[in-house]
Chain A
Amino acid sequence: MTISGWIFMLLYWGGLTTLLVYCLKKKLSDSD
């Protein structure tokens, strides 16, 4: 895998994971 491939993949995976954790945390803190 090329370096740009690594960067793209890690940004994509990292972005998705961060967003998922953020959304779930915000949702759970508000959950009834």
Chain B
Amino acid sequence: MSEHKRERWGTKLGVILAVSGSAIGLGNFLRFPSQAGMYGPGAFMIPYLVALIVVGVPLVWVEWALGRYGGQWGHSSGPGIFQAISPKARALKYIGVMAIFGPLVIFTYYCYIESWTLGYSIFSVLGKIPHVAGVSESIKMKTFLNQYRGLEPGGSFSLTYIFFLITFIINMTVLYFGLRGGIEKVCNIALPTLFIMGIILAVRVLTLKAPGSADSAATPLNGLGYLWNQDLSKLRNPQIWLAAAGQVFFTLSVGMGVILTYSSYLRSKDDVVLSGLTSAVANEFAEVVLAGSIIIPAAFVFFGPIPQKIQAIASSGSFDIGFVTMPLIFQQVPYGMFFGFLWFFMLFLAGITSSISIAQPFIAFFEDEFDFSRRKAVFIFAALMFILSQPAIWLLKYGVMDDLDFWAANFIIVLGALIEIILFGWVFGSDKAWEELHRGAKIKAPVIFKFLIKYVTPLFLAIILGVWMYQNWINVIVMKTDPDGNPLAPANKPYILGTRLMLLALFLFISILVHVAWKRHGGRIDISEEGTAEQEEWSK
């Protein structure tokens, strides 16, 4: 077998920016305010902090350590990494298919949503977003968004598709240039730019003054109070704890296989404790400090200091917040076109650093397991993704995108994270796992996390999975309701069924590829730089 030359990160900071870029996505700026606002004032932040410590940080460390471990065996994607944990348990590589399948499915619609942010940022500069007299005219903005997405007649959908093509080509170009020449370089520029844009927007919002006739309590600081005042009575509501855990989970990009892949390019003695913590904290800074200071305080100023109104805005969903509420608000402030552009372009940067990360597991799979060149792997990925992206674009009104999101960004990642942490804490063994986590570590993780990783986090994840399955997911799976809990329209059923058949075929296709790859190399890849020593030690 030919010796496989592994890609490596250019700098130690590069991998942190890349992982942070992966985690800081549209969800930080759109999903977090929606979740934090939905349950009313003073409800969300305490459960969110607890979930961050109990679920978020342990999972981040587990994924970094697992990824680096798998990388020593020459594997950068789920099947190889899972198999490396227990080489004798041959089924593990098929379970690891989830860590390729999930990101692949997310890419089929994420790139399209990302293209909306590019389109809207250009519309902001050109003044093409419809002008409204006041925030009460949200229907105009909503109609514009629906026309843009082809859900209502009157828009120019060809323009929407052109923005998708541009976004798709940008993504493929970055991926083509590889880990160091493409992903790392883009993240090194995009992440600091995103932070600067976020700070400018947060400062603008926090210095906003309410329109003349508004309530005197409609200040941005009181908007912050909506988030930060504590209403301890609400802590008795288990739904808030589940929602907070879910948000922490989604925002850190854990469970989907991206961190596994990125950290697999580390060297065996590279630190993962400090790196994992840094990426998690950078993500939290973007979410809590920046995103938390933009939408809710701005809505408080312009829609009034009425909790029910803020809850209604938050409950309208991430897309309405980002593409309806925020443009409405920016039109009411001086230089609104500029701030509108900043908002949408910041979302675009957040989007692209995430979309290139979810592409990498599939590309890495072909590079490692089939010894394909980067160019060939990217070409296969591009061709497959271009075809698979079409249903989410053209069949949006039939709920296809929601169903894809349900399977890939909800079901698979919660299940995937639960499997990962059980593999690490129980199959790998907690003592060995703790030792693996601390190999080359620049800081020591508090010993309480050993207990959390083994008992508390898996239990927490099992509860989340069980409760969500019972409350909502089971009805989605049997096609009774859509992922939002509304009855599934009969007209949508054939499209949802078709989507699921497509997903099943994709999962089987990747599983067959795994089977073929293991027939070919038997699970062992000889790598040119390092790792062989660890492999030999294992083989003894």
Q: Which residues of A contact B (CB under 8 A)?
A: 1-2, 4-6, 8-9, 12-13, 16-17, 19-20, 23-24, 26-28, 30-32
Contacts and interface: CB of A to CB of B under 8 A. Distances in A.
Contacts of A20: 278, 281-282, 285
B512 interface: no
Contacts of B282: 20
B278 A23 contact: yes
Contacts of A24: 13, 278
Given A27-B275, A32-B11, A5 B228 contact: yes
Contacts of A32: 11-12
A17 to B, nearest CB: 7
Contacts, number: 68
B285 A1 contact: no
Given A1-B222, A20-B281, A23-B278, A9 B13 contact: no
A6 B221 CA distance: 10
Given A1-B225, A2-B225, A5-B230, A16 B285 contact: yes
A19 B45 contact: no
16 contacts: A1-B222, A1-B228, A1-B229, A2-B225, A5-B42, A5-B229, A9-B228, A16-B281, A17-B285, A19-B281, A23-B278, A23-B281, A24-B278, A28-B13, A30-B12, A30-B442
* Chain B residues touching A, majority SS: helix
Nearest to A20: B281
Interface residues of B, number: 28
A23 B521 CA distance: 40
A5 B225 contact: yes
Interface string B248-282: 00000000000000000000000100110110011
A27 to B, nearest CB: 6
Interface of B: 11-13, 16, 42, 45, 49, 221-222, 224-225, 227-230, 271, 274-275, 277-278, 281-282, 284-285, 288-289, 442-443
| Highest count of chain B CB atoms <10 Å: which of A8, A26, A27 | A27
* Chain A residues touching B, majority SS: helix
B442 A4 contact: no
Contacts of B49: 12
B13 A27 contact: yes
Contacts of B230: 4-5, 8
